[in-house]
Chains A and B, each alone.
Chain A
């Protein structure tokens, strides 16, 4: 009794091929040839997909090189922008240095950023310090810092009160800031012989006068948000008194448990080291902050000033 091809294949014994009928032998022939054909088609398919893969990898390599080139150009640009922004930061003015001691920590989250501080000469031979935080980070905010610097430089020759200065800048910058959807916190302090006057909208200020401590009233609005008058405040600032001005970069940074570094903690560190040189106070603050925070999440500016 001849066997069928399926029976022979099921028994896995090649010697039984001899027992196949002629018809089953033909079937075996066609099945074998069919497998060859199918295999040829598979081979052609995989060869084609492999060729495609090779082309895709080559394109990927090329795109990677393009990206690297573009990234290099951007990095170079940012590096230049970083240097430009650094160059825009002020040096302590001669008349300031005679009257006050200054320590500064300023760190942008990326190559360029939106924190900006400046020292200004006023028309009455006095001087002022401004600390600003433009909304957002990076290039767009950095551009606004340059814009604000120009605005403040222009107005400083005409006003000597922080209120007049900030109101003028807010009025002349308002439309532009609205258009580019940016705003900025403001903390502008003018130094009089026996005290300070300030306007604060979103900025932080902490003043130690003898045994008394004051935190800035910061109920004013940000630059570019509203066209309303600003309120000016005065505080005593005598020899040996200490003033700290800062943006939210430090105080809103969190540790791994999600707890804010906080205004209180920063002010405590400042108070603890109040008798040290201003640069050392700043360094202690940065040390404490660095040990606390999980990572920087914003630009940081901290300025500590002592009346000589």
Chain B
């Protein structure tokens, strides 16, 4: 993706603030510059994708093995969204989060831009009885963070006993299991 294409994509402040707050809650960003950057974010603004990338870099540059950290950030974001944000009113139970997140109020409500730039976050497969779903993501966001988002969103309502999300051979396919 070119810088120009990236610049045509906007990310909503709620997502930025959610990510930033998760980082602060987990104490995983250090330094005054990082905290100044985070503190300047406003929940109702739209930010260029590059600002999101800067936010991601605060974490990425600090960890040699960043994947488990990004999963945890995603989980923490969604726990915050559910317990302290609008999540509880929008999602009845864990499984329905998948429909929410892949629907019009989910991913697409927090990004703006040309479809080929913002990508998609679609449910390719869903079987409630077997507790299986497959999400196909082509967004510019980090897949490990998206795994965390799905785990956090599925777990937050507290009705599921088991939640896991794995990536297969195709890293854009997120395999969800929930019981």
A residues in contact (CB < 8 Å) with B: 26-27, 30-31, 33-34, 37, 41, 44-45, 47-49, 51-52, 55-56
Contact = CB atoms under 8 A, between A and B. Distances in A.
B107 to A, nearest CB: 22
A7 to B, nearest CB: 16
Contact of A34 (B30, B67, B72, B162): B162
Given A41-B71, A45-B72, A52 B161 contact: no
Contact of A49 (B69, B151, B160): B69
A30 B161 contact: yes
Contacts of B32: none
Given A41-B72, A55-B64, A49 B162 contact: no
Interface of B: 28, 30, 62-69, 71-72, 75, 151, 160-164, 179
Contact of B162 (A30, A44, A45, A48): A30
Contacts of A41: 68, 71-72, 75, 151
Nearest to A26: B179
Main SS at interface, chain B = loop
Which among A31, A44, A45, A56 has the greatest number of chain B C-beta atoms within 10 A? Answer: A45
Contacts of B30: 56
Contacts of B161: 27, 30-31, 34
B160 A52 contact: no
A52 B68 contact: no
Contact of A45 (B62, B71, B164, B179): B71
A78 B170 CA distance: 63
25 contacts: A27-B161, A30-B161, A31-B161, A33-B162, A34-B160, A34-B164, A34-B179, A41-B68, A41-B151, A44-B71, A45-B68, A45-B71, A47-B65, A47-B68, A48-B63, A48-B64, A48-B69, A49-B28, A49-B63, A49-B69, A51-B63, A51-B64, A51-B65, A52-B63, A56-B30
